[in-house]
Structure formats: C-alpha cells, structure tokens
Amino acid sequence: MGNIIERVQQFAELIGPNVYLQAVAIAAAFILIGKIADWILSRAIGRIAMRSRTDLDDRFIDLLHRPIFLSFVLLGLSLATQRIQLPDSPEFITLGALKTIAVVIWYNMLRHLTDVLIQASRRNRESKLVQTGMLALIQNVFKVVLFALAIYFVFLAWDINVTAWVASAGIVGLALSFAARDTLSNLFAGVSIVMDAPYKTGDFIILDGGERGVVTHIGLRSTRLLTRDDVEITIPNGIIGNSKIINEAGGPSEKHRIRIAVGAAYGSDIDHVCETLERVASDNAEICTDPVPRVRFRQFGESSLDFELLCWIDRPVDRGRLRHELGCAVYKAFAAEKIEIPFPQRDLHVKTMPDTA
C-alpha cells in the first residue's frame, strides 16, 4: 500500500506544479484503484464463492466490496487533502471527518456481518449454542464490543485523549456497580446459566419454590417459565442461579417415568394383579414401549397389598394428563377383573360402657 501511495504522488507531480490538479489526480487514481479492487472482489473471487455449497461466503463478499471501494476513495481524498496543504485547522477537520466516515462504514459492515453469522448459526438446530440460547448473548456482546471499538477509533481520528475517558468510565462504572448490584448479580447469573446450560428453552423444570413449567425464554436478566395453567412466571437469574433445579427433560432423553400406586385386597391373585396393570399400560398408545412398562410389588400395607405401575412417557409436560388416564383405566380394569381395591379399616373395641341414668 505504501508503494502505491508513493507512485500515485509521483504520478501527480508529473501533471504539473498546480497542487489542486495534483489533488484531483490523486483522488481520481484512488477511485480507479477502488473500482479495480471492487471488480476483482465481486467478479473473480465472487465466481469462486458461487461454487461453494453455502451462501455465507457470497453474502460476505456482498458486504465487503462496497467498504473496500469507499476505503480507497476516502484514502484518495485524504492524500489529496494533504497534497493541497491546507491550514492546520481545516486540514485537521477534513481528515478527522474522512476518518470518521471510514470508521462508520466499517462498523456498519462488521455489524451486518455479525448478523449474517448469527443467522447462519441459527440454521443449525443441533448446535449447542442454539439449544442453550447462547447466540443471543454472543450477538449482544459483539454489538457492544464493535460499538466500543468504533467510539475508540473515532476518538483517535480526532486526537482525543482516550486515557482520560477510560479512567472516567472506570469511575462511573464503579459507581454504577454499587447502584445496580442486583441487576449485575442477575446479569452474571444469566451468563453462568447460558454457559453452564442446566436447562434450555423448551425444557420442563421444577425449582425449589415449587415453580414448575416449560422454559420459554432465557435472558441475561431473567428466565421465563410457562406453567400448565398458561401463567408465565419471570424469575430473576440471581435467584434461579442459586436454586436447586430439577430438569425433567434432562438426561440421555426427554422421556419421563410416571408412577401409579394402587392397592389390592389381601387374598388377591398377585400375578393377576400384575397382568392387569401391565395390560392397562399397553392399551394406552401414549405409553412408551421402550423401556417397557413394569409392575412392582412394594409392601404389605395395613389394609392392602401395595403395587406400583411404572411406565415411560415421551414428554414430561403430559405427566398430569396421562396419570389421570391411567388411574381411571386401572380402576375400571380392577372392577372388570373383580379385583378389590380396599379402603383403610379400623376396629374399635369398647371396654366399658358409660353409665346411663
């Protein structure tokens, strides 16, 4: 690049002693160089990118060719301004404005490139970043970093002392950290939740306080749950990050096991009871066949032989409804098979009778 600038200046001197003509020649030369660079990028490299299976490189080239052309144009205008040798104040203002325009152009390009990369990542549904909601955090962080860098380079373009501003920002940040302690606590807890991923959007979780529902949104400040009553609960991440979380959709699969406890009267045929309970589970189409339903004899109760039907369902959110259906089916099956379901009984022995007048 340095050799190109020197040659352009030497070419400008050949035009004549008029510095204004030389400045126009320099600007025109860099416009021509920008057009050539734009043509090489959009035509030659663009044709190679069109052969790839993804459109990510095509969109990247579409975003890149305009900033490159404008960068050459701004560079030519800057050299032309220096060639004219304006007074210090006009030259400083002109160069500062040109540098600021360049910073804005490249800031917009990088911001749009971040959006393109995030959209491409969201298409991959199997990505852990998509499942944990990490993309939203990354996108916001990139936007903040790009904006901070743009402000930094704008300060450099106008020869502003950045050190003093950084020190002032540190003092202001310290004051805000004390004033917004709870907000920062929720923010850091949100980052921890996103990074550790104890749950993801769509999981069915239970918290210490008894809140139970589907995770609908994981934000930096709070997490939202939708209960079975269609009531949305917003919980600050500072609280949920320090709570015990039961993720019913976690583990190797999303399947969930439900238990139906039932008692049979003493004297009942145990094998008959087990076969009846297994048949009730197999007759329900929403009960998983892998793992297969099973029946366990738990204990000799005070009034009954206590059994438990164990079966798996595909989604934890269906637990309440399927327990209701299985409970009704067990009662009807026991009645049809003449299996008695006893109720607790107590014998009362009266030792003495009260005196009657």
Residue 268 near residue 340, CB atoms below 8 Å? yes
Average pLDDT over residues 289-307: 93
What is the third-level CATH fold of 256-336? Alpha-Beta Plaits (3.30.70)
Q: Which residue has the higher pLDDT, 212 or 329?
A: 329
List, for residues 247-272, the tens digit of each pLDDT value.
888 777 778 899 999 999 999 999 99
Q: Please state, as a whole number, how many other Cβ atoms lie within 10 Å of the Cβ of residue 216.
A: 13
Domain ranges (residues) in the chain: 2-175, 197-247, 256-336
Question: Is residue 20 classed exposed, middle or buried when 0-12, 13-18 and 19+ CB atoms within 10 A define those classes?
Answer: exposed
Average pLDDT over residues 48-73: 80
> What average pLDDT score do residues 276-300 get?
94
CA angle 107, 108, 110 (to 5 degrees): 65
Residue 294 has pLDDT above 90, yes or no: yes
Q: Return phi, psi of residue 110, to 5°.
A: -65, -35
User: Is the pLDDT at 275 greater than 90, yes or no?
Assistant: yes
Using the predicted structure, report yes or no on whether residue 283 has a pLDDT greater than 60: yes
Strand order in the sheet with 204-206: 232-236, 222-226, 212-218, 204-206, 246-247
pLDDT tens per residue across span 174-214: 666 665 677 777 777 877 777 777 888 888 898 888 888 99
Q: Give buried/exposed letters for 316-335 (b at 16+ CB in 10 A, else e).
A: bbebeebeeebeebbeeebe
How many other β-carbons are positioned within 10 Å of the β-carbon of residue 182?
A: 11
What does the alpha-carbon distance between residue 62 and residue 123 come to, in Å, rounded to a whole number?
20
pLDDT value of residue 12: 67
Model pTM score = 0.58
**Averaged pLDDT, 319-341:** 94
What pLDDT does residue 128 have? 52
Evaluate whether 326 touches 284 at the Cβ level (below 8 Å).
Answer: yes
> What are 32's two structure tokens?
């021509």
Q: Which residue has the tokens 């189409």?
A: 285
- Summarize pLDDT for 34-51 with one digit per residue, the tens: 888 888 877 767 666 666
Residue 44, token pair as written in the block? 């030659």
**Per CATH, which fold does 197-247 belong to?**
SH3 type barrels. (2.30.30)
Average pLDDT (134-157) is: 84
Mean pLDDT of the chain: 83
Give the per-residue pLDDT at 312.
94
Helix (H, G, I), strand (E, B) or coil at 232: strand
Q: How many CB atoms lie within 10 A of CB 102?
A: 19
Q: Which of 8-12, 91-95, 331-335, 338-342 has the lowest mean pLDDT?
A: 8-12
Q: How many whole angstroms separate alpha carbon 223 and alpha carbon 186?
A: 10
Residue 279 pLDDT exceeds 90: yes
Residue 316 has a pLDDT of 86
Q: What is the mean pLDDT of residues 157-178?
A: 73
Query: Residues 64-87: what's their mean pLDDT?
Result: 88
Q: Percentage of the chain surpassing pLDDT 90?
A: 34
Convert the pLDDT of each residue in 98-140 to its tens digit: 999 999 999 999 999 988 888 877 776 555 555 445 666 677 7
Terminal-to-terminal C-alpha distance of the chain? 123
> Could you tell me if 271 and 287 are in contact, meaning their C-beta atoms sit under 8 angstroms apart?
no
pLDDT of residue 308: 97
